[in-house]
């Protein structure tokens, strides 16, 4: 499988995990512990590409750097109809440092 395909599968799984979180505190704690990442927002549907890189490497056994993820993430998110927004450096507002990803 290509990195794009692996990323698609991972994002789909994370979307399902996010959708399965209910308001009970144990649900979101278990999901965050399982993937070792924060699910943010009122609906627990917002993740950071910085944490996603670690999760892809450690949980999904995908060998990818943060820079590689930044390159392929927009295309993959568009394909899956997943909204994303750029994160830029505080020191240099033109330097892309990652993305916030809205899973649903």
Q: How many domains does the chain have?
A: 1
Q: What is the pLDDT of residue 21?
A: 87
Q: How many CB atoms lie within 10 A of CB 24?
A: 9
Are the C-beta atoms of residues 62 and 81 closer than 8 Å to each other? no
Q: What is the pLDDT of residue 93?
A: 84
Q: What is the pLDDT of residue 89?
A: 85
Are the C-beta atoms of residues 29 and 22 closer than 8 Å to each other? no
Q: What is the pLDDT of residue 27?
A: 72
Predicted structure pTM score: 0.92
Distance CA 40, CA 63 (A): 25
Q: What is the pLDDT of residue 25?
A: 61
**One digit per residue, pLDDT tens: the chain, 104 residues?**
999 999 999 999 999 999 988 766 667 888 999 999 999 998 999 999 999 999 999 999 999 999 999 999 999 999 999 999 999 888 988 889 999 999 99
SS percent in the chain: helix, strand, coil, step 5: 50, 15, 35
- What domain range includes position 44? 3-102
Q: What is the pLDDT of residue 24?
A: 61
């Amino acid at each position: 499988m290509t990195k794009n395909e692996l990323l698609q599968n991972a994002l789909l799984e994370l979307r399902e995990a996010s959708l399965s979180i209910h308001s009970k505190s144990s649900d979101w704690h278990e999901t965050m512990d399982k993937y070792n990442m924060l699910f943010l927002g009122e609906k627990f549907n917002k993740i950071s590409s910085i944490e996603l890189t670690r999760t892809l490497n450690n949980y999904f056994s995908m060998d990818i750097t943060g820079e590689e993820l930044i390159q392929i993430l927009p295309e993959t998110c568009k394909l899956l109809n997943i909204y994303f927004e750029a994160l830029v450096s505080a020191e240099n507002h033109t330097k892309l440092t990652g993305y916030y990803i809205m899973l649903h």
